[in-house]
A and B are shown apart, each in its own frame.
Chain A
Amino acid sequence: MRELRLLIRQIGYERRSFFRNPAAAGFTLIFPVMFLVIFGLLYGGQTYDLPSGKVDAIQYQLAQILVFSVVGTTFVGLVTSLAIRRDSGELKRKRGTPVSAVVILGGVIGNGVLLSAIMSVLVVTLSVVLFGADLPLAHVPALVVSIVVGALTFCALGCLVAAIVPNGDSASATANLVIFPLYFLSGIFIPDVPDSIESFAGHFPLRPFLLSLASVFDTKATAGPDWGQLAIVAVWGVIAAALAVRYFRWSPRR
């Protein structure tokens, strides 16, 4: 019980610190909104072919932008901030107190999930208001589950990559080097990707996350949300978490 109280408190401190950091907060919040507006203006009124039939382009773009904002908030954000805070000794200092690793990292991850939720509400609301996107009410629980599972997985991957990068200087570059090829191969920026590349990208967590969100916004689908794709995302998360626990470092390299 005490651990849970500490964890909730810790998430509060992380959130406070995040919103007071103009660089972090600005980058994380403004980028997805900017993409949403650009995509909406470029492809507004067009349609997109899903296996279930034609849907408005915004329905698919919404999934793309949600992936982009969740991954930016969690994966890229965590790799960078954990590596910098390890370099500065902040993590080492906390490790010298009785607080558990679960509470320290749980605070960071909890904040990542919370921010992902805030971003999702913002992006979905703007899409509905500005571009007439449609989110069937029955799909809201599936959307929430997908966002939480995706955010947790990309937090775990962020912790893992943070464990591997040597220092804070190389953290942001490494995170982007890992994630940008996947954005393109998985069809986050480009709607049409050749089938061979699609199936290759399907082995990594980004494409399944996109497909799972796309199924939530697919108003023509009768089968409901694609839980199979979300399961692939979750498996990646579990593996990443196990490896991160094994390899995470609290002290800067000497």
Chain B
Amino acid sequence: MPEATTPPVIDQPNVIEVRGLEKRFGDFEAVRGLDLTVRRGEVLAILGPNGAGKTTTIEILEGYGERDAGDVRVLGVDPAGAPRALRERIGIVLQECGIDRFLTCREVLQQHASFYPDPRDPDELLELVGLTEKAGERVKRLSGGQQRRLDLALGMVGNPELLFLDEPTTGFDPQARRQAWEIVQALASGGTTVLLTTHYLEEAQVLADRVVVFSRGEVVETGTPAELSARTGVVQIAYEPAAGQPLPELPEGAVLADGRWQAEVTEDAVTRVLAALSGWAVASGVELGGLTVTRPSLEDIYLALIAEENEEIADA
């Protein structure tokens, strides 16, 4: 019999398309008219505070959740009711999700591999997530971080075109997090599309081609991490003057705080201000100790965005 369950891979530019998605739980509007597009081969990170609708949205895309309104296409099909043909092509890493605790890592991976038409090799995956030494160990004996790495391997075992990662590195130590990032980067460079939610802005900055910020069930910002950083247009120039040193006048709005001379300037003024500062320093015979030029991190921007959003809501 031909493989009737595997549809032909149609080369659509967009792997996920969402228009006007709405979902409410009782009186609570979890998702309010949300639009989202994920292109083939990109890593898209969804950022947002708790209750912003990240998990609700991702679970609708995975086929777990029902929606109240809106048009949703995942790999060209409606995920509602989780059609099997779709489940064969996606991988899901849920938040906090149980595994049969009495099976070993290898057994669980072999079991899940048997569910897919074209699975990856369980031992190769164990190697990839750094669990080769734990292959014969029962899941109940793994640490939290090790279980999460097994989650990641289980998400990849079906060789998915599209991988959903809902807060994949929560509970990881910094080294394990970096390892997980490398795995996701390797997958992405192999052409897998990745949609991830995260609380760690550094994670979004490292992994994501594009970032979408959710707040109260809506998209409030979209762009590459660099675009988002540039959008505020503020660059900070700072150094630590030695005690008793004269201070430069330039530019306006410069302040002395925490023993550092700090000035916030616009992107197009950076070169001019730096030239003036160093010119003054040379003329005055002053060393600019600990000089830094800092663009805001994604975290700063994110926090500013969310604060702005909250103010708007308070004003309304």
Contact = CB atoms under 8 A, between A and B. Distances in A.
Interface of A: 6, 9-10, 13, 16-18, 20-21, 85, 87-90, 92-100, 251
A6 B115 contact: yes
26 contacts: A10-B111, A13-B111, A16-B103, A16-B107, A17-B103, A18-B102, A87-B98, A88-B98, A89-B94, A90-B100, A92-B94, A93-B92, A93-B94, A93-B98, A93-B154, A96-B62, A96-B63, A96-B87, A96-B92, A97-B115, A98-B5, A98-B84, A98-B115, A98-B117, A98-B158, A99-B115
Contact of A93 (B82, B84, B99, B138): B99
Contacts of B88: 98
Nearest to A86: B98
Classify chain B's interface size.
20 to 34
Given A13-B111, A16-B103, A95 B97 contact: no
Contact of A90 (B97, B107, B117, B158): B97
B103 A96 contact: no
B314 to A, nearest CB: 28
A13 B116 contact: no
The prevalent SS among residues of A at the interface is helix
A97 B96 contact: no
B250 to A, nearest CB: 56
B116 A98 contact: yes
A9 B99 CA distance: 17
Given A16-B103, A16-B107, A97-B158, A6 B92 contact: no
B98 A100 contact: no
Nearest to B98: A88
Contacts of B103: 13, 16-17, 20
B102 A20 contact: yes
A92 B117 CA distance: 20
Nearest to A24: B102
A6 to B, nearest CB: 6
Nearest to B96: A89
Contact of B98 (A13, A21, A89): A89
